[in-house]
Amino acid sequence: MDDIRTTIAAVLKDLETRKTKTAASDPAQYFAKVFAKKELRHVRLAYFRNGICAIAVDSAPWMYHLNLRKRDLLAKLREYSTDVKDIRFVIGEIKVAKTK
C-alpha cells in the first residue's frame, strides 16, 4: 500500500512541476511588457513550441509593422524567457473581449 501511495505522490508532484514550468516559460504572459498597448489589440500567441513563438496578427499591415520590430521584440521576449529562440508572425483571428 505504501508503494502505491508513494508512486501517486511522485506522479502528482511531477505533474505540478511540469505545469509550473510550462506556465513560467509561456511567452504570452509577457506580451503586455513587450508590445505597445495599440499592438496588443492586434496580436495573440498562436503557439510556442521548440523555442519558436508564433504570434497571430489580425492583418497584413500589422504583420509588416511587427516584422519591422522583430529584432527588438525578440530581444525583449528573451529578457523575460530565455526559452524563446525566434518569433514568427502568422495571419490569424484575434478575439477581442467585449467591454461594457
Helix (H, G, I), strand (E, B) or coil at 64: helix
Q: What is the pLDDT along the chain (100 residues), one digit of tens a residue?
A: 568 888 888 877 777 765 544 444 678 888 889 999 999 999 999 999 999 999 999 999 999 999 999 999 999 999 988 889 999 999 998 876 555 5
pTM of the model: 0.68
- The domains located in the chain, with CATH, are 26-91 (3.30.70.2210)
- HSE value, Cβ hemisphere, 13 Å, CA-based, for 59: 7
